[in-house]
Amino acid sequence: MLEKLFRRQTPKTELPKGAQPTAPDVPYDPSLVAALTQQHRDMVTHLVKANSAAQQGMYDEVKECLAQFKDALAEHLRDENAKLHPYLATRIKGENSRETLRDARQSCKRVEQSVEGFITHYSGYPVSDHNVERFGMELEGVSEEFCEEIEREEAVVYTLYLPPDAY
C-alpha cells in the first residue's frame, strides 16, 4: 500500500482543447524601452572598445571588453525575456502579432548564438599579435550583425510596447 502511495505521480493538468497557456501578468514599465535601448548602446560601446584595444595591442583589455559585453548581453536578454516579451505576448493583437513576436525571438536567438560563439572562440584563443587581424574582421562582422538586429528590434518590437490602455 505504501509503495503505491509513494509511486503515485501527481496528475498533469491539461488545458482545454485549443486553449493557449497564459503568460504571467507583467506590469507596464514606462522606462523599460529606454533602459533596453541604453543597454544596446552600452553593448555596442564594449564592442568598439574591444576593437580599439585590439588595434592598440592591448590584448588583456580586449578580453575584459568581451567579458563585459557578454555580461551585458546576458542581463539584456534576461530583461527582455522577463519583462518585454511576456508583456507583449499578453497584449498585442492582430493576425501578424504572434508571428512578429516569434520572428523577433528567433532573430534575437540567432544573433545571440553568433555573438556567443564569437566570444567563446576568443575566450579560448585570446587575441594576440598572431590573430589580431582576423579578430578585427570577425568583430566587424559580428558588430554589423548585432547593430542590424538592435536597429530592427528598436524599430519594430520596442514600438509595440505601450501602456495597457493603448491596446
Question: What is the DSSP secondary structure assignment for residue 59, as one 8-state letter?
Answer: H
- 44-86: pLDDT as tens digits: 999 999 999 999 999 999 999 999 999 999 999 999 999 999 9
What is d(CA 115, CA 5) in angstroms, rounded to the nearest whole number? Answer: 49
Instruction: Report the CATH number of the 30-161 domain.
Output: 1.20.120
What is d(CA 87, CA 23) in angstroms, rounded to the nearest whole number? Answer: 8
Q: Can you give the pTM of this predicted structure?
A: 0.80
Domain boundaries, the chain: 30-161
What is d(CA 114, CA 151) in angstroms, rounded to the nearest whole number? Answer: 17
